[in-house]
Amino acid sequence: MPQAAKQGNRNAGKKSKRFGVAPWDDPSWPSDRAERAIKFIETYCILPDGYGSGQTLVLAEFQKQWLREVLQPGLKAAVMQIPRGNGKSTFLAAVALWALFDPFKADGRPKIPIVATTVRQINDTMYGTCLFMREQCPEMEERSHSYAAMGNQKIVNLENKGELFPVAKDADGLQGLNPTLAVCDEIGFMPIESWTSLLQSIKRSMSLIVGIGTPGFDQHNALWALRKQVKAGGPIKGFHYTEFAADENCDLYDQDQWRKANPALVEGYKPLDSVEIALAVAPESHFRIFQLGQWVDGVESWLGSDGRALWRSLAEPWAMEPSGDTWVGVDVGLKHDSTAVTWLQRREDGRFHAKTKIWLPTPDGRLDVSDAMQFLRELGAQYNLKAVAYDPRFFDLPAQQLADEGYPVVEFNQSLERMTPACGMTYEMVKRSEITHDGDEQFETQVLNAVIRSNERGFTLAKAKSKDRIDACVAMVMALRMALAPEPEKPPVALGAIYR
């Protein structure tokens, strides 16, 4: 056994012989779990930094109310969505310490995992705060020991042998935890698989999984999935959801909305000028996410941090002209992807108007390209198709068949040489408001899903790096390139020519 570990265990043994009865184990303490938690936190937890640093933590009313709601029999999971600056990490750290020292013993030795993206992140926030609070309180410090060995960091309660420890969000590693209380920081950036693994680790009658966080940059996280489930179907048995957020699309300067989203403003421990500074320097999307608790798509998209606002500013419905010149892009996915056909016409003022049709995969993950072929025929019956651009990887034979029928299909391989100028041109047209659309929700989602892959010439749109399907966006890029490309394009060989 390493010498450091031996010394740590020897010190722990010395401690165990000298402490007396813990004050929180006194019969005069409240019998209700929530009230015990509140009293413990407000008596023994010292703030490490920020507002009131060095003083005993005084819980805000919304925090007390949340504890009274979630520390109830039968509740297995609870989540709070709240903007930054409302003391969530410090609050959760204090709750975790209470759970480690609480005298309730019906479920055996307490196990308190603190879960976040990486162990280093946890150490810098919640676990580091737990260590500070423990060290600042003689009652806790006397009755516990902290271990700092790499891969085995933990605080051990020497009376009940309970453990509080950091753990990364790896889904496989979370299933065997058997927690009394599992605490998740920044659940808006936690994969839903990690949250599900935590739920599957519940084996105790009093186990509880809690998470607090701000909205994430996309919808691929546990907080969004749980919020969506609650909004769609109402209460979920054994699950408690709390949300602090401003009204969607509210005025950014409405201070009543700031207070609605930030209870710490009302309580007085979040400075009003911190929100004013954020409004002055942050992109609108970041301000809405981190200060107003709103969900904003496209924050990391190819259109920039305010991608959603930019794309929505282009919404201007317009009726396509029958028999009008029309350019089409086709992007096909054969399995677990989507297929999209995006078509364009010039408006009277010279701008291009874009519409799209998207096919999602069947439950077995497959798509039938014959649907896209038939839709292209329908477009051909309505409009004067000037070019139908397609990627030959998945649409070569259908394109040859359409060429044999007389459609102006044009091979558009998605090489760096072809896609880099096409993506750059489309980006500039969006920035200059030279594209309009009908405000279609699916179209918006796929446009905002796209992220860039940089290269020496510029950038392309990266399907592998993007958050989700982007086929309608790629099809729009191809169609715009066809509408503006000066060089002639080589059509595919018609099927009839193959057999002549």
Tell me the per-residue pLDDT of 165-181, one tens digit each, with 9 for 90 and over.
998 877 677 877 889 99
Residue 471 C-alpha from the chain's centroid: 21
Please give the angle made by the CA atoms of 71, 76 and 78, to the nearest 5 degrees.
70
Kindly report, residue by residue over 316-348, the tens digit of the pLDDT: 999 999 999 999 999 997 655 789 999 999 999
pLDDT at 138: 93
pLDDT grade for 365, boundaries at 50, 70 and 90: low
pLDDT at 496: 41
Domains (ranges, CATH) in the chain?
3-243 (3.40.50.300), 312-498 (3.30.420.240)
Would the pLDDT of 98 be above 90?
A: yes
CB 182 within 8 A of CB 115: yes
Would the pLDDT of 373 be above 90?
A: yes
pLDDT at 500: 30
pLDDT grade for 458, boundaries at 50, 70 and 90: confident
Q: Which residue has the higher pLDDT, 17 or 271?
A: 271
Query: Once rounded to an integer, what is the mean pLDDT over residues 372-394?
Result: 94
Kindly report, residue by residue over 275-321, the tens digit of the pLDDT: 999 999 888 888 999 999 999 876 778 998 888 889 999 999 999 99
Among the residue ranges 25-39, 118-132, 482-496, the one predicted with the least confidence is 482-496
Kindly report, residue by residue over 249-270, the tens digit of the pLDDT: 899 999 999 999 999 999 999 9
Give the predicted TM-score (pTM) of the model: 0.72
**Which CA distances in Å does 23 have to 36, 40, 44, 68?**
12, 10, 11, 22
What's the 3-state SS for the chain? CCHHHHHHHHHHHHHHCCCCCCHHHCCCCCCCHHHHHHHHHHHHCECCCCCCCCCECCCCHHHHHHHHHHCCCCCCEEEEECCCCCCHHHHHHHHHHHHHHCCCCCCCCCEEEEEECCHHHHHHCHHHHHHHHHHHCHHHHHCEEEECCCCCCEEEECCCCCEEEEEECCHHHHCCCCCCEEEEECHHHCCHHHHHHHHHCCCCCCCEEEEEECCCCCCCCHHHHHHHHHHHHCCECCEEEEECCCCCCCCCCCHHHHHHHCHHHHHCCCCHHHHHHHHHHCCHHHHHHHCCCCCCCCCCECCECCHHHHHHCCECCCCCCCCCEEEEEEECCCECCCEEEEEEEECCCCCEEEEEEEECCCCCCECCHHHHHHHHHHHHHHCEEEEEEECHHHHHHHHHHHHHCCCCEEECCCCHHHHHHHHHHHHHHHHCCCEEECCCHHHHHHHHHCCEEEECCEEEECCCCCCCCCHHHHHHHHHHHHHHCCCCCCCCCCHHHHCC
Kindly report, residue by residue over 211-227, the tens digit of the pLDDT: 999 998 877 789 999 99
**Which CA distances in Å does 116 have to 105, 119, 467?**
27, 7, 21
Rounded-to-integer distance, Cα 423 and Cα 452, Å: 9
Query: Once rounded to an integer, what is the mean pLDDT over residues 10-26?
Result: 63
Kindly report, residue by residue over 83-96, the tens digit of the pLDDT: 999 999 899 999 99
Q: Which residue has the higher pLDDT, 69 or 282?
A: 69
Q: Which of 209, 113, 210 is nearest to 163 (CA)?
A: 113
Helices 33-44 and 88-101 pack at an angle, to 10 degrees, of: 110
CB 233 within 8 A of CB 118: no
Would the pLDDT of 492 be above 70?
A: no
